[in-house]
Amino acid sequence: MLSEPTPVDPEVAAATFSRHLDAFWQGLRADRSDWELYRIDDLNVVIKLYAVRSDGVREDYYLKLGANFYDSWPPLAWFVKPNDWSQADPGSQWWPKLATTPTWFGLHASYPYRDGSQRPLLCFTHCAQYYQTNHAPEEHTVWKQGRHTLAMTVNRVAEILRPPYYAGRSDI
């Protein structure tokens, strides 16, 4: 098991986060996907992503990224509600339902954290919350500072919001 993420200097985190976010946003993927970016503050953004059902219907989701540990660790990542950016409730329209998951990803409505709490978890090695739980990832999957950026986090979440994984909104 790896150590738990610890906060980094907020100014350094904000500068690195902004630089990586700008580079990612200037890339083609965000433009092709009609994604939208909402900057909350220097350490937090929300990205509006679109899920695609097997019948081709698109549904919007909001992924919040936090840079409290960035880029020593991956960004915090969670689905949020669009009206106030608060964490989406599992089982709500803002929490996706997955038909299946790839071996590298899990979506948990409630998961035990090291601090004793139970919270939702986007369970993959490019999300800081993963390292706040008792996981023991294989070395080749672990976040590597200087090699990985928030682009990996966003792209992985976008991948599970497509067939064959995505099965619609949880509240339906």
**Domain segments of the chain: what residues?**
10-167
Query: Which residue has 């089982």 as its token pair?
Result: 91
Query: Which residues have CB under 8 Å from 34's CB, separation 6+?
Result: 50
Please tell me the predicted confidence (pLDDT) of residue 68.
98
Check residue 2 and give its pLDDT: 76
Q: Which parts of the chain have pLDDT scores under 70?
A: 1, 30-31, 172
Hey, which residues does 64 pair with through a beta bridge? 46, 78
CA distance linking residue 40 with residue 172, whole number of Å: 30
CA–CA distance, 65 with 40 (Å, rounded to integer)? 10
What pLDDT is attached to residue 30? 65
87 DSSP assignment: B
pLDDT at 131: 96
- CATH class given for the domain over 10-167: alpha beta
pTM: 0.95
Q: What is the pLDDT of residue 24?
A: 94
